[in-house]
């Protein structure tokens, strides 16, 4: 099972490098989208706790 996991991880990394080299603008947009989604989720959690504390 460890061998399969290593192969899958290697393929994912190879695809990411290939995508970065062949389509750098699209790769940058994808990274910005992921960061935006994480930022939005963090803001939602903060809003939730702020509403919970304020009653």
Domain that residue 53 falls in:
24-55
Q: Is residue 14 part of a domain?
A: no
**Residue pair 20/13 in contact by the 8 Å Cβ criterion:** no
Q: Which sign does the torsion angle of CA 50, 47, 28, 7 carry?
A: positive
Q: Is residue 3 part of a domain?
A: no
Cα dihedral 49, 45, 39, 36, rounded to 10, equals -130
Count of the separate structural domains present in the chain: 1
Q: Is residue 18 part of a domain?
A: no
Q: Is residue 4 part of a domain?
A: no
Instruction: Please write the tens of the pLDDT for every residue from 1-51.
Output: 899 999 999 999 999 999 999 999 999 999 999 999 999 999 999 999 999
Helix (H/G/I), strand (E/B), else coil: 13: helix
Q: Is residue 41 part of a domain?
A: yes
Q: Is residue 8 part of a domain?
A: no
pLDDT at position 55 is 74
């Amino acid at each position: 099972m460890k061998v399969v996991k290593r192969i899958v991880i290697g393929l994912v990394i190879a695809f990411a490098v290939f995508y970065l080299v062949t389509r750098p603008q699209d790769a940058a947009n994808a990274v910005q989208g992921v960061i935006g989604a994480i930022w939005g989720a963090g803001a939602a959690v903060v809003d939730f706790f702020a509403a919970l504390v304020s009653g």
